[in-house]
Amino acid sequence: MQALAGDWLYVEDRTEGREVEAHQPSMSAKFALRVEEAAVVVVRRDFEVRMPLDGTGVEVTREGRLSRYSGSWKDGAFTYEIEMLNPADKSRTGLIRTELRPTAEGLLARVEVESQTSFKSLALYRHPKDIALPTPAKATIADLAWLAGNWVGTRGTSGTTSIEERWSPPLGGAMLAVSRTVSKGKLAGFEYLRVVERDGGLVYVAQPGGNPPTEFVLTELSASRAVFENPRHDSPQRIVYELSGDSLSASVGYMKGGRPQRFGFKREGS
């Protein structure tokens, strides 16, 4: 059972029959498990739940929603259920059943949801240290000069959300940028960005909201396309920039499958 312990990152969707574009984690993209003498603790980004191995139910209230967790270890896997309960009378309104099975290639997480709509998913997770890092592409900062400039765009069907990335020209082995998102006239988000030369290649460094930096290694570069990857990050794991005339697209997503989130920009003034 100790094989459950540690941090786990999403690697790939193993759900039978699911289209590649629909691939996604079966649980969170990142979670942790802690094994105690008579319990397993599931640790998410903002909360954790300790489940006794004897199946005793543990009630948790979060954001006004009541759930009951219960789990057990059997046949080489930890299986637990989450019952969604009506706070008024504790009647069950839905059920999530999760099986976490350690294997030689990682942790297989199988999830079945029973509610108004049924859902089944199977995904592979690994410890970050067991995920292979990508092979860096050789490049200098001058090779990314086409990204320099002020890029602006809008999001949403009504176009009320504006986005922008302002990239400095390559100089001193680096390009610097700031990103800003404004929704309905109010600041909705910002990000500090930079690309720096390192060991004969390029590294993309992102700090959304001014948070600690996350690095992505350049793995592909052409005169109009750059791909940066970090499979040991929860989300995103892959960042792609593509230039077409005065239009720039940026997409963020997982290493394998899924539907990347895409952003479209025009060069300011064009």
**What is the model's pLDDT at position 82?**
96
The confidence score (pLDDT) of residue 270 equals 64
CA distance 238 to 232: 10
Looking at the structure, tell me whether residues 192 and 218 fall in a common domain. Answer: yes
Residues 43 and 98 in one domain: yes
Sequence-separated (6 or more) residues with CB below 8 Å from residue 187:
180, 181
Residues 16, 220: contact at Cβ < 8 Å? no
With bands split at pLDDT 50, 70 and 90, how would you rate the model's confidence at 155?
confident
Range of the domain at 49: 2-130
The string of DSSP codes covering 148-172 is -EEEEEEESTT--EEEEEEEPPPBT
- Using omega within 30 degrees of 0 as the cis cutoff, is the peptide bond preceding 236 cis? yes
Whether pTM > 0.85 for this model: the answer is yes
> Within a domain: residue 135?
no
Judge if 173 and 241 occupy the same domain. Answer: yes
**What's the rounded Cα separation, in Å, for the pair 194 and 168?**
9
pLDDT band at 177 (very low <50, low <70, confident <90, very high): very high
Per 3-state DSSP, the chain is made up of helix, strand and coil in percentages (nearest 5) of 5, 60, 35
Question: If you count DSSP H runs as helices and E runs as strands, how many of each does the chain have, helices first?
Answer: 0, 20
The answer on 237 and 146 residing in a single domain is yes
Report the alpha-carbon distance of residue 239 to residue 193 in Å, rounded. 12
Instruction: Identify whether residues 111 and 152 lie together within a single domain.
Output: no
* For residues 134-157, average pLDDT: 94
Averaged pLDDT, 187-199: 97
**What is the structure's pLDDT at 45?**
82
- Percentage of the chain with pLDDT > 70? 99
C-alpha distance across the termini of the chain, in Å: 60
Nearest alpha carbon to residue 83 among 64, 101, 57, 47: 57
Q: What does the pLDDT look like over 45-80, one tens digit per residue? A: 888 999 999 999 999 998 889 999 999 999 999 999
Query: Measured in whole angstroms, how far is the alpha carbon of residue 149 from the centre of its chain?
Result: 28
Q: Are residues 89 and 176 in the same domain?
A: no
pLDDT at residue 262 tops 80: yes
Q: What percent of the chain has pLDDT over 90?
A: 91
For residues 108 and 208, membership in a common domain is answered with: no
pLDDT confidence tier of residue 230, bands split at 50, 70 and 90: very high
pLDDT score of 218: 98
* Mean of per-residue pLDDT scores for the chain: 95
41 and 68 fall within a common domain = yes
Poorest-pLDDT segment among 2-11, 150-159, 176-185, 205-214: 150-159
Answer yes or no: is 85 within a domain: yes
CATH at 226: 2.40.128.20
pLDDT tops 80 at residue 139:
yes
The answer to whether residues 157 and 114 belong to one domain is: no
In a domain, 136, yes or no: no
Residues contacting residue 147 through CB under 8 Å, at least 6 positions apart: 167, 175, 195, 226, 241, 243, 248
For 74-101, the pLDDT digits (tens) are: 999 999 999 999 999 999 999 999 999 9
Beta-bridge partners for 221: 226
